[in-house]
Structure 1
Amino acid sequence: MPFDARQPGRHARDARSALAAILLCLTTGLYAAAPAGDADFMNKAAQAGQMEIDASKLAETKATSGTVKRFAGQMLQDHRAAAEDLKRLASAKGVQLPATPSPADQKKLEALGALQGASFDKQYADEVGVKAHNDAVALFRKAASDARDSDVRDFAKKTLPTLEHHLESARKMASEVSR
């Protein structure tokens, strides 16, 4: 479009409109926003994973059982890796993840932190080992089959076997510490 001295500012306005359109195309091409249900899954997974990380940090110092300490070490390793994968996925989908556990899980962590010795071991095994992993397995199974975004579905499918293994190990650990 040639410059028209009779319409000052028109050229600049047209240029700004074109630039805005280009930027819109570029930014929407960088990531495809996750459907609401998939974003909800990612948020819940982030909160649950952070709860297990925080509880396992407590277990490193408070647990008296070697089995609980080993389990906690494995949880830290596996859940930190899954959290990094989830952060990358969420970033690619334009989802801002929470950095802390849910308020209900924060209360559980406070109660767990107040325990010592065998009481801590049993509560950690029951709440973090078995119950939290039962919940996580159910959450990830649902996402593995129902997520609308294929990347979210693939993340859930990839992580699910590790969570199922954690649940199996947690059941053994809970049985051992409850004796």
Structure 2
Amino acid sequence: MFRKYYIVAISAIVGLCFAIGGSFFSQVNAQQSPRIPTVNTNQANAVDLAFVNEAAQFGLANIMLGEMALQKSTNPSVQKFAQAEIAEQQNVKQQLTRIAPQLQVTLPTAPGPKYQALMQRFSQLSGTQFDTAYLDEGGINAHLEAASLYQREAAFGRNPSLLTVANQGLPIINQHFTIASSLTSYRFAQVPRRYNEASAPTAPSAQ
């Protein structure tokens, strides 16, 4: 009888030890297990910060050029292109306005000197001269520049929100570039829809 109680007591002690030991090892394993790093949506590198500033200035300039085109041009195709460009850049502006405070960045409120000089030159043009200059600068050159800017962010940026802006913007840049190309008979390699996406290059030519 005493042997029976002795065995029961030993079993209880062993069970308690396993319970305590299991709890102890669970805590140790929890402490030693590496934590999965979380992505900080506020993180940004130098490429991100440059993108915010340059994309904001680019957008302001193209909105102003588009508004100028709506006032000066009588060509329906040019006006339609200008309206699409304004809508594109206003959307980007809204996104950057939302993201900038998270990065503690102040967005520019006016285009840089390069764009101001361009608008000054455009203000002196009218008729077909204005249409040609607007499509060449605001259509072709601007979107080649935008493609380079957005592709650089998509390739080397780190902030998830800005990467989304860049990758969503590239298809629109490609679309507007294609429209401007058709209006000016300009041909060049297509802008990839996303970074590292293959595109079929064509021989460059301009008329």
- Is TM (by shorter chain) over 0.5? yes
- Matches for 1:1-179 after TM superposition, within 5 Å: 32-175=42-185
Structure 1 alignment gaps of length 5 or more: 1-29
2-side partners of 1:152 and 1:140: how far apart?
A: 10
2-side partners of 1:107 and 1:56: how far apart?
A: 16
* Larger CA deviation: 56-65 vs 146-155: 146-155
2-side partners of 1:92 and 1:31: how far apart?
A: 8
Q: Which amino acid aligns with 1:50?
A: L
1-side partners of 2:110 and 2:62: how far apart?
A: 11
Structure 2 alignment gaps of length 5 or more: 1-39, 187-205
- 8 A contact 2:72–2:127 mirrored in 1: yes
Which protein has the larger Cα radius of gyration, Structure 1 or Structure 2? 2
Identity %: 30
1-side partners of 2:104 and 2:177: how far apart?
A: 31
Which residue of 2 is the match for residue 8 of structure 1? none
> Runs (4+) of structure 1 moved beyond 3 Å?
none
TM-score of the two chains, using structure 2 as the length reference:
0.67
> How many Å apart are 1:32 and its aligned residue?
2.5
Per the alignment, in what secondary structure is the counterpart of residue 185 of structure 2?
A: helix
> How many Å apart are 1:93 and its aligned residue?
1.6
Greater relative contact order structure (CA < 8 Å, 6+ sep): 1
Aligned residues: CA RMSD:
2.0
Per the alignment, in what secondary structure is the counterpart of residue 64 of structure 1?
A: coil
> How many Å apart are 1:62 and its aligned residue?
0.3
1-side partners of 2:109 and 2:137: how far apart?
A: 21
